[in-house]
Structure 1
Amino acid sequence: MNPKKYLSKYQGRRTHPVIWCAAIICAVLAVAVIIAGIVVCVGYIIIHPRIPFISVLSATLDAFQYDEAGLLVAQMTMDIRATNDNGKARASFQDTSMLLVFGGTEVAQLVAPPFEVERNGTSDLHYVVESRQIPLNREQMELMRLSLRWDEVGFDLRGKFRAQWRVGLLSSFKFWCYLKCRLRFHLNGTFTNTDRCSSRAQ
């Protein structure tokens, strides 16, 4: 092939304007993402907000029924407190969901719509939890027998939520937080927990 003919074949071609526009848009988006990342990092370094958290404020076992057939019915009143101890940033809580579990079996699910907590503020979530009639297996029945003997019954609380802090128009990336603890009650309904039930890192 003649090299001159080969070169002249491609010299006449020009990049289509649509391709140029797409390249410019991609470049602008890349620069915008880099700038946004720098702004968030600088804002975090300057403000250094603490992670918001949720904790069990109070709980009462209002009803507790268990029969010889191994059927359990429980009703509980629970107050969960969302805390934002940042003095410079608001905090938003999203996808808040908690499971109340007895002996590995789900008793009830607790959810909350998205909400915000102001700087150095708190917001309380009130739940009235009533379980369906739950059949217990042999291990759970043995656990219940011991609970009746010791006059103390325990439920596991497992929760998670997505948190995000905001300063004006500046907001952080969302991050998951988790809560896992055991709620203990006397059979008369009294909450006996002495340890802290919170998603905050110890």
Structure 2
Amino acid sequence: MGTPYHLQSPRTIVTKIINMKQQPPALPSPPPTAPSKIILQPRHRTSPAMWCAAIVCFAFSILVIVAGVVILIVFLAVKPRAPSFEAANASLNSVYVDSPAYFNGDMTIVANISNPNQKIDVVFRSATVELFFRDRPMAAQELPPFMQRRGQSRVLNMHMVSSRVLLPPEVAVELVNQVRSNRVVYTIRGAFKVEARFWSGHYTYWMHAICELELTAPPSGVLVARRCRKN
């Protein structure tokens, strides 16, 4: 208990009264809050269209997996290989550079094309062989369609004739210098549309081959070196 007013000094009593007037009034206690309610959202049912789309996607995925497994099994069983193309022989009959830089030439190429597959027949739907000198086209020949059974080879005789092919001056000078040095380098490029047949199916693809030929000078130019590759 505090000191009675009659025992306190007048100054102390006045100070307490002033302090009591300056204190803010007590705030009323807040009313008790009601317990919070949990609001549950209604569940949406999956529509039949969504179920159908999911089933279609699942079935498509299964088909893709099955098709991949079948293709892999067929590939391992058949072991497909592309046919091989190479220049077996060649002869350079004539090379003539006219003024200002027109090229005339005659070359015979004997090429060997073979089907290395033991379970696949191939059909050459189209075949084009081109002759180049320093990436300049000199002559071209198209071959008729033909078929090769599994394991078979075929010899192709091609006569490449160039008539008044305009060459840049620097290319014409290089050709003349090669003829004088008794070493003439040509490039042949082959493009073949191949249809591979096996069992009851088939597929088509393009095959490209490049051969670099080094021959002696005409009129009896013979093949002294060659290098062929598939591209």
TM (norm. structure 2) is: 0.63
Encode CA deviations 1:131-159: one digit per residue, 9 max, x unaligned.
24222323223213323423453322233
CA distance in 1, matches of 2:117, 2:206: 16
Structure showing greater relative contact order (alpha-carbon pairs closer than 8 Å, 6 or more residues apart): 1
Helix, strand or coil: the match of 1:26? Answer: helix
Q: What is residue 66 of structure 1 aligned with on the other side? A: 97
Question: How many equivalent residue pairs?
Answer: 194
Give 1:69-84 correspondences, 5 Å limit: 69-84=100-115
Identity within the alignment, %: 17
Q: AA paired with 2:228?
A: S
Q: AA paired with 2:177?
A: L
1:195 aligns with 2:225: yes
Q: CA deviation at 1:40?
A: 2.5
CA distance in 2, matches of 1:113, 1:35: 37
Question: Which range moves more in the overlay, 132-141 or 20-29?
Answer: 20-29
Q: CA deviation at 1:121?
A: 0.8
Computed over aligned residues only, the root mean square deviation of the Cα atoms, in angstroms, reads 3.7
Give 1:17-166 correspondences, 5 Å limit: 19=53, 22-23=56-57, 26-27=60-61, 29-44=63-78, 48=79, 51-93=82-124, 96-112=127-143, 115-161=146-192, 166=197
Q: CA deviation at 1:118?
A: 1.1
The one of 210, 217, 225 aligned to 1:179: 210
CA distance in 1, matches of 2:90, 2:174: 21
Encode CA deviations 1:25-81: one digit per residue, 9 max, x unaligned.
62353134223222224314xxx5654201123334444332242211123333322
CA distance in 1, matches of 2:117, 2:208: 16
CA distance in 1, matches of 2:126, 2:40: 65
* Distance change (3 Å), C-alpha of 1:18 and 1:167: same
Encode CA deviations 1:164-196: one digit per residue, 9 max, x unaligned.
7554236688574532312424311x3422334
Q: CA deviation at 1:16?
A: 6.0
TM (norm. structure 1) is: 0.70
Larger Rg: 2
Kept in 1: contact 2:109–2:157 (CA 8 A): yes
